[in-house]
Chains A and B, each alone.
Chain A
Amino acid sequence: MNVGERLTDQNFPESPEKATLEGKNKFLGFWLFLGGETVLFATLFGTYLGLRNSFGKGPEASEIFQLPMVFAATIILLTSSLTSVYAVLALKENRVKAMRGWLFVTLLLGLSFLGLEIYEFIHYVHEGHTFTSGAFGSAFYTLVGFHGGHVLFGCLWLSTLLIRNSGRGLTLYNSPKYYLFALYWHFVDVVWVFIFTVVYLLGKVG
């Protein structure tokens, strides 16, 4: 069978994402990449925590943070993580339509998260909390912005995946791609859980 061939219910492997050596490599390589990303974000978190009380010329964290909005963003991202789980479940059952549907929902949720974040940033900038207003500002926008960048990249990636494979079924070639995307998305969500806790909730107590 050719890797590009559409899978049928008859020849469908248990884990289509790991059924080829290429798939196995991608799977492992991506997990290891996430291990590296852990250090990447840890460095950002560390920097942020080291500087979180150095407001410079900007306002203090507790004065500006908009917790309800951030809370909403958190729920949105969590939900999108769930929908991507559903997509993976569908992938494992060769239900292409369902999978694409869930992924589409994931994309929408991701985009609305981004929208909220941009709105939030604009709001902060108006309050005088900017990238250059002090060490805290720099650290905040860098950490949260890096995460936002990851979400944005995820959305671009997912869009490409969905468009490229529209009208195509699952193959041994494209299932690892879907699976990897889901891993990525979960990871981005994990990072957000910490941002919510360490940046926003901690910011309120000071």
Chain B
Amino acid sequence: MAGNEHTNSVHRHSSLQKKIKLKQERRQHNVSFVMMILLTILSFASIMSDAISDTVAILFIIVLACVQVFFQLYIWMHLGHKGHEFPMWGIASGLFIAALTVGTLIGLIW
């Protein structure tokens, strides 16, 4: 729109502060990457090994998948950050309806 293109949000700020923040972020990202790889291996192992019963394993890997989604959404996609309130609503509603849909198509078709 006219006039308010960017003037209000373009503001210079201490580059040092910014550097520190980004560095922290980078570390978070690396940690979550390692975690995600570990989780993947864990689920893989729990299915491949005979030690864990199938039902437990199924529950376990589904929980792990959800944890991974959390990492992706919150750390990599910054869903928890300021300015993400509406995206948050969007994803939450989507997940809610997704849960209903999946639940139904598993449970209500005989």
Contacts and interface: CB of A to CB of B under 8 A. Distances in A.
Chains A, B in direct contact (C-beta < 8 Å):
yes
Interface of A: 1, 3, 9-15, 18-21, 27-28, 31-32, 34-39, 41-43, 45-47, 49-50, 67, 71, 74-75, 78-79, 81-82, 85-86, 89, 92-93, 172, 183, 186-187, 189-190, 193-194, 196-198, 201-202, 204-206
Nearest to B34: A82
B65 to A, nearest CB: 4
Chain B at the A interface: SS class:
helix
Contact of B91 (A35, A42, A49, A93): A35
A13 B65 CA distance: 35
22 contacts: A1-B6, A1-B10, A18-B9, A19-B10, A28-B87, A31-B84, A31-B86, A32-B90, A35-B94, A41-B98, A47-B105, A50-B109, A78-B33, A78-B37, A81-B76, A82-B30, A86-B29, A172-B6, A196-B43, A202-B58, A204-B48, A205-B47
B16 interface: no
B40 A78 contact: yes
B106 interface: yes
A15 B9 contact: yes
A13 B94 contact: no
B40 A75 contact: yes
Interface in B41-57: 43-44, 47-48, 54, 57
Given A13-B11, A50-B106, A196 B40 contact: yes
Interface of B: 1, 4-6, 9-13, 15, 18-19, 22, 25-26, 29-30, 33, 36-37, 40, 43-44, 47-48, 54, 57-58, 61-62, 64-65, 68-69, 72-73, 76-77, 83-84, 86-87, 90-91, 93-95, 97-99, 101-106, 109
A53 B33 CA distance: 33
Contacts of A9: 15
Nearest to B98: A42
Chain A at the B interface: SS class:
helix
Contacts of B37: 75, 78
A193 B69 contact: yes
A42 B40 contact: no
A28 B47 contact: no
B66 to A, nearest CB: 9
A39 B36 contact: no
B94 A14 contact: no
A198 to B, nearest CB: 8
Contacts of B54: 205-206
